[in-house]
Amino acid sequence: MVVEIMIYYSFIYIALSCLILSKLSINVIKLRRQNKVSFGDDGDRTLMRRIRAQANFIEYTPIFLLSLIFHQSIILLIWSTRSGIKKDYQC
């Protein structure tokens, strides 16, 4: 039971990350359409900040999510071996 609950935390964070990325992308798209800018930022500082926010999120979020899943896997492996649960874990 505890094993299943811990795995669900990763999926919650992945789903929340998708929602945040959607919001960031919509913000960039709206401002691009408003300013009629197809490529780059055309010197608009607000657009530049929104593009960087989206890019930073895209760059760092996958590393965080992968490390979260890896960390939970290690904790589950340690917890299951110490509690005596007989389950085959293959790496």
Structure confidence by residue, pLDDT tens digits, 17-43: 999 999 999 999 999 999 898 888 888
Residue 27: predicted pLDDT = 94
The pTM (predicted TM-score) of the whole model is 0.72
What is the model's pLDDT at position 77? 77
How far apart CA 89 and CA 72 sit, in angstroms, is 14
Q: 86: number of CA atoms within 13 Å, CB side?
A: 0
